[in-house]
């Protein structure tokens, strides 16, 4: 019989919350149902209110809750719901009626109580008073502050105080259900796992850029890396590819979840790093730090538009289970691809040096590059993903947009892909949207070929290009 749980979620990057919960449940193969979460202001409640950190969710059992806690990085804690109410009088009545606490009254069950306030700090006096008000539950086992068999408690959810209210609100912290800012009271049992496995939320700190040995100015922050890996359904038995690997943030996140990963980049210096210790490339150095060096197959240097891939792979099935990437779109570094800016000067054969060696074989050779417009990059990425992904494989990538008035975001489409989710991270003048697409069954594709276009290619030859919009002077 399914039970109702309270998902306590982080309040950072809230637009990514529901897609990540859905992706985590899909990876785990568990059924879940988000329920309306009532409040004083809205007794019927809503299922998608992202302004609140709490969601009621129906899950099969504690095992499903533990699995979700270990997979979904937006979840801070999960509680089995015993009762919820607007007032403590109502909460006690509902708790007595449900009797869910009766199963824990054995003398052999140790316990502790945890009273929490959200947006309010509860004093020690108030905590003790709340615990004593539940004395009728009559837990007979010993109190144990560490390693207790049962952790039960109340969460008092308050609305976020405004700057004007903040000083006054601190003086109202003792009011409890008399406080007009109270949103809801939740009573329940905290779900704990003694297996020793990391909760997914902890991976954000494990992968923190502040602790990473090798980073660059384009390294993806750890929370977003974990979310992307989750959206890609990365895990043991999966092979993941990042065609714009840079310093490897996506490779680490996918591999720490158990996947085998492979990265490539047009700039080998990003993959290798500048300050290599004992000749170890930067990506391998960080992989060793996380103990996942055996899961990162390699990091190779090539231009995606001139990739060495050959099709078909194992018939028409593809090669990778997911492609996860942060394409260069011009905020910190403009996208480049191989070739002369002036296509008419592009050579089709190698240039031979006086000593008979081809110029591209010289140790100091730097291949020429030309601008790679975002619209062309996204089109190519979809085509490559169509050819390289297994049926059902996911493509997860960022798409930037300007936050102009009445501007509509154009989400790319492809005949071989279905849109799974898209979430926005707002930076003020511009935003980036995380796009998750899934390859349909029964389709096959070929690696696209590129032909040179006559004339000189310039980075600013397209006024509608995102980079040109972003760098354009603002009108005062």
Per-residue pLDDT of 387-397, as tens digits, reads 899 999 999 99
| Cα distances (Å, whole numbers) of residue 97 to 50, 82, 140, 235, 307 | 30, 10, 20, 42, 65
Closest by Cα among 112, 114, 129 to 187 = 114
CB atoms within 10 A of CB 450: 13
Q: What is the DSSP letter of 199?
A: P
According to the model, what pLDDT value does residue 475 have? 58
Whether the pLDDT of residue 313 is over 60: the answer is no
- Phi, psi values for residue 433, rounded to 5°: -115, 125
Q: Do 371 and 335 form a contact (C-beta atoms < 8 A)? A: yes
Q: What is the mean pLDDT of residues 432-455?
A: 77
Who has greater pLDDT, 468 or 88? 88
pLDDT band at residue 162 using 50, 70 and 90 as cut-offs: low
Query: Tokens 């969601």 identify what position?
Result: 55
CB atoms within 10 A of CB 319: 18
| pLDDT one-digit tens code per residue, 76-132 | 999 999 999 999 999 999 999 999 999 999 999 999 999 999 998 888 999 999 999
pLDDT band at residue 373 using 50, 70 and 90 as cut-offs: confident
Q: Which two tokens stand for residue 226?
A: 């974990």
According to the model, what pLDDT value does residue 167 have? 42
Q: Which two tokens stand for residue 304?
A: 């995606």
Which region among 163-172, 307-316, 433-442 has the lowest average model confidence (pLDDT)?
163-172
Q: How many CA atoms lie within 13 A of 214 on its CB side?
A: 25
According to the model, what pLDDT value does residue 403 have? 79
Residues 6+ away with beta carbon under 8 Å from 356: none
Which region among 139-143, 171-175, 189-193, 330-334 has the lowest average model confidence (pLDDT)?
171-175
pLDDT band at residue 349 using 50, 70 and 90 as cut-offs: confident
Q: Over the chain, what is the mean pLDDT?
A: 86
According to the model, what pLDDT value does residue 431 have? 87
Closest by Cα among 434, 305, 442 to 371 = 305
pLDDT band at residue 164 using 50, 70 and 90 as cut-offs: very low
Percent of the chain with pLDDT over 90: 57
According to the model, what pLDDT value does residue 22 have? 97
According to the model, what pLDDT value does residue 163 have? 45
Q: How many CA atoms lie within 13 A of 211 on its CB side?
A: 10
Q: Which two tokens stand for residue 140?
A: 């007979």
Whether the pLDDT of residue 241 is over 80: the answer is yes
| pLDDT one-digit tens code per residue, 35-66 | 999 999 899 999 889 999 999 999 999 999 99
């Amino acid at each position: 019989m399914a039970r109702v749980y309270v998902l306590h979620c982080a309040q950072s990057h809230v637009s990514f919350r529901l897609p990540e919960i859905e992706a985590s449940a899909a990876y785990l193969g568990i059924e879940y149902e988000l329920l309306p979460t009532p409040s004083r202001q809205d007794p019927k409640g809503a299922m998608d209110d992202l302004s609140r950190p709490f969601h009621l969710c129906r899950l099969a059992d504690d095992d499903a809750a533990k699995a979700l806690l270990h997979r979904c990085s937006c979840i801070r804690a999960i509680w089995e719901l015993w009762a919820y109410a607007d007032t403590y009088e109502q909460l006690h009545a509902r708790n007595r009626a449900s009797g869910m606490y009766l199963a824990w009254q054995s003398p052999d069950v140790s316990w502790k109580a945890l009273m929490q306030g959200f947006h309010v700090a509860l004093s020690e006096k108030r905590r003790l008073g709340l615990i004593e008000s539940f004395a009728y539950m009559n837990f007979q086992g010993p109190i144990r502050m560490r390693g207790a068999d049962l952790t039960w408690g109340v969460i008092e959810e308050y609305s976020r105080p405004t700057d004007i209210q903040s000083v006054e609100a601190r003086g109202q912290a003792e009011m409890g259900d008399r406080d007009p800012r109270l949103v809801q009271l939740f009573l329940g049992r905290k779900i704990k796992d003694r297996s020793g496995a990391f909760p997914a939320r902890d991976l954000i700190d494990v992968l923190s850029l502040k602790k990473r040995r090798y980073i660059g100015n384009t390294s993806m922050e750890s929370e977003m890396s974990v979310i992307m890996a989750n959206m890609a359904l990365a895990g043991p038995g999966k092979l993941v590819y990042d065609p714009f690997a840079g310093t490897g943030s996506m490779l680490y996140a996918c591999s720490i979840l158990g996947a085998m990963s492979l990265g490539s980049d047009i700039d080998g210096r990003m993959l290798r790093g500048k300050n290599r210790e004992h000749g170890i490339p930067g990506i391998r150095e960080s992989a060793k730090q996380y103990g996942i060096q055996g899961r990162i197959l390699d990091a190779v240097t090539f231009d995606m538009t001139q990739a060495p891939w050959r099709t078909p792979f194992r018939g028409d099935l593809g090669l990778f289970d997911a492609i996860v990437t942060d394409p260069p779109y011009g905020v910190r570094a403009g996208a480049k691809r191989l070739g002369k800016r002036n296509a008419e000067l592009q050579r089709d054969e190698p240039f031979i040096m006086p000593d008979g060696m081809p110029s591209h074989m010289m140790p100091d050779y730097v291949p020429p590059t030309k601008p790679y417009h975002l619209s062309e990059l996204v089109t190519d990425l979809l085509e490559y993903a169509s050819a390289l992904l297994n049926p059902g494989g996911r493509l997860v990538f960022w798409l930037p947009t300007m936050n102009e008035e009445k501007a509509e975001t154009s989400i790319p489409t492809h005949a071989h892909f279905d849109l799974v989710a898209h979430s926005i991270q707002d930076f003020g003048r511009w935003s980036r949207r995380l796009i998750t697409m899934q390859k349909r069954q029964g389709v096959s594709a070929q690696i696209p070929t590129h032909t040179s276009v006559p004339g000189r290619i310039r980075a600013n030859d397209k006024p509608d290009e995102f980079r040109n919009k972003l760098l354009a002077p603002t009108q005062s």
